[in-house]
Chains A and B, each alone.
Chain A
């Protein structure tokens, strides 16, 4: 803990903390016991609810769902990064039209819920003569939303590169495109890597919205299992465990990348690029509050 809300406890405080711990632990155990009893009373621990997960058939369904999730999230990530770069460069452009246009696109797709975007791609676009299936609807929705979010991240990252870098680059005779490509983007990408990885967690979680348009991703595959076996809660627990494992690994990767960049403070003192705090680099829950 970074804040010293209390001192190294003395004998009396230690006793009080011990009492508190005992009471707290007892309360938690009681709560846990109540939930367990409720689960048991309603038969959630019955072996016919859990045994299917040992079978090859159910495992294959889950694995296929996981692959579909990863496929949709992976493709959407690549497309979102591309869209984000285009929109960020557009917003930083010297042409007013481009700036306003990209700004409007970014603000629109950030304001509209992802569900709306996916539904529009799924039932709206076919009405307009564009053929989409569940898979492309999910990818389109994820790309539009995350592309806009990433555009803001990229823009902040580019803006965070010290001005002197740009001036130096121009003064040695580089052109605008070269300044962007050789000086700004490499430095920006380095500072933004952790935020991009956290955005991957958001994107992966959001891919579960494919559930709504019957895209057979991981959660929808879970539905296939529980509608057959009738084990909603066991299935939800197993599926949740899979998501949590993947997301925690991604978060661990983001932390590792951030540490590898050589401790925020030292870097800051040297006046190197860093992101403004409102993007929530390293702040828990900073960008990760999507659906």
Chain B
């Protein structure tokens, strides 16, 4: 137990990195995923194909491999970034494919009558999308998006293998220092993730209640 207490700053730093990876790539993935979803439901075929190819490829590639591409592959293309930035690139690229699918499901859940009515009023595709469809879609997808973000929260842990000092890297280091601290360390680590997940779900429920609409 002492090892955990003595190194509390280090452990907190690890979780701070976890939160940072989560927040930055979550925000970027939300934007990129929404754009991808719009591309996928839009009327322009080549754009549609490009977006669906991207989603299919990223969803079927292991995240670890996306990390290899980013952290070890990009430097080969003379892209020089910090390890943290490579991790954010990988997490964003991977997560946006899943955000796209969630948003698309939300768009598909908007009642056809709504869209027909909007079109009958003479709204353009862009107006139908931004004024009628997306606002309703986002209300419907708070729960599935929460699932995607929960996966992202846990996925930040993959960064441990790619030179980012997030929570698991700290665990690994401290465990090497003091083998007897295995169980307390693991419980601290697990507890940290449980707390973060609880915060995420709490926030999601709050958002859901605020945007809940009578349909």
**Residues of A near any B CB (own CB < 8 A):** 1-7, 9, 13, 17, 20-21, 24-25, 28, 38-39, 42, 44, 108, 111-116, 119-120, 123-124, 127-128, 201, 205-209, 211-212, 219, 222-223, 226, 232-233, 236, 239-240, 243-244, 247-248, 251, 278, 280, 283-286, 288-291
Are B144 and A283 neighbours in the complex by a CB distance under 8 Å?
Answer: yes
Q: Does B125 contact A (CB under 8 A)?
A: yes
Interface size on B, residues (CB 8 A): 68
A174: min CB distance to chain B, Å: 37
B123: min CB distance to chain A, Å: 11
With contact pairs A116-B190, A289-B148 given, residues A4 and B105 touching in the complex (Cβ less than 8 Å): no
What number of A-B contacts does a CB cutoff of 8 Å give?
Answer: 198
- Contact residues in B for A239 (Cβ distance below 8 Å): 65
In the bound complex, how far is the Cα of B124 from the Cα of A7, in angstroms? 11
- Contact residues in B for A211 (Cβ distance below 8 Å): 64, 68, 161
B45: min CB distance to chain A, Å: 6
In the bound complex, how far is the Cα of B182 from the Cα of A277, in angstroms? 39
In the bound complex, how far is the Cα of B147 from the Cα of A5, in angstroms? 27
Are B57 and A240 neighbours in the complex by a CB distance under 8 Å?
Answer: yes
> Interface majority SS on A: helix, strand, loop or mixed?
helix
Residue of A nearest to B40 (CB): A1
Of the listed stretches B2-10, B72-80, B207-215, name the one at the interface; the rest are far from the partner chain: B72-80
Are B60 and A248 neighbours in the complex by a CB distance under 8 Å?
Answer: yes
Are B65 and A243 neighbours in the complex by a CB distance under 8 Å?
Answer: yes
Q: Does B35 contact A (CB under 8 A)?
A: no
Q: Does B205 contact A (CB under 8 A)?
A: no
Interface string of B154-190 (1 = CB under 8 A from A): 1111101100000010011001100110110010011
Are B107 and A3 neighbours in the complex by a CB distance under 8 Å?
Answer: yes
- Contact residues in B for A278 (Cβ distance below 8 Å): 143
Q: Pick the residue among B61, B119, B143 that contacts A7 (CB under 8 A).
A: B119
Are A116 and B186 neighbours in the complex by a CB distance under 8 Å?
Answer: yes
In the bound complex, how far is the Cα of B61 from the Cα of A289, in angstroms? 11
B188: min CB distance to chain A, Å: 11
- Contact residues in B for A285 (Cβ distance below 8 Å): 59, 97-98, 100-102, 105, 144, 148
A32: min CB distance to chain B, Å: 9
Are A233 and B76 neighbours in the complex by a CB distance under 8 Å?
Answer: yes
Are A284 and B193 neighbours in the complex by a CB distance under 8 Å?
Answer: no
- Contact residues in A for B64 (Cβ distance below 8 Å): 208-209, 211-212, 219, 291
4 more CB-based (< 8 A) A-B contacts, given A205-B61, A207-B62, A291-B62: A111-B197, A116-B171, A201-B60, A247-B60
Closest 7 CB pairs of A and B: A285-B101, A208-B62, A113-B157, A115-B157, A289-B151, A113-B154, A247-B60
Residue of B nearest to A209 (CB): B64
Interface string of B32-45 (1 = CB under 8 A from A): 00000000010111
In the bound complex, how far is the Cα of B72 from the Cα of A128, in angstroms? 35
A96: min CB distance to chain B, Å: 22
Interface string of B41-70 (1 = CB under 8 A from A): 101111100100000110111111100110
Are B59 and A288 neighbours in the complex by a CB distance under 8 Å?
Answer: yes
In the bound complex, how far is the Cα of B114 from the Cα of A5, in angstroms? 10
- Contact residues in B for A5 (Cβ distance below 8 Å): 41, 43, 107, 115, 125, 128-129, 133
B176: min CB distance to chain A, Å: 8
Q: Does B112 contact A (CB under 8 A)?
A: yes
Q: List 16 A-B contacts (CB under 8 A).
A: A24-B47, A42-B76, A115-B158, A119-B168, A120-B182, A123-B175, A124-B182, A127-B180, A127-B182, A212-B64, A212-B158, A219-B62, A236-B65, A240-B57, A244-B57, A289-B151
Are A42 and B77 neighbours in the complex by a CB distance under 8 Å?
Answer: yes
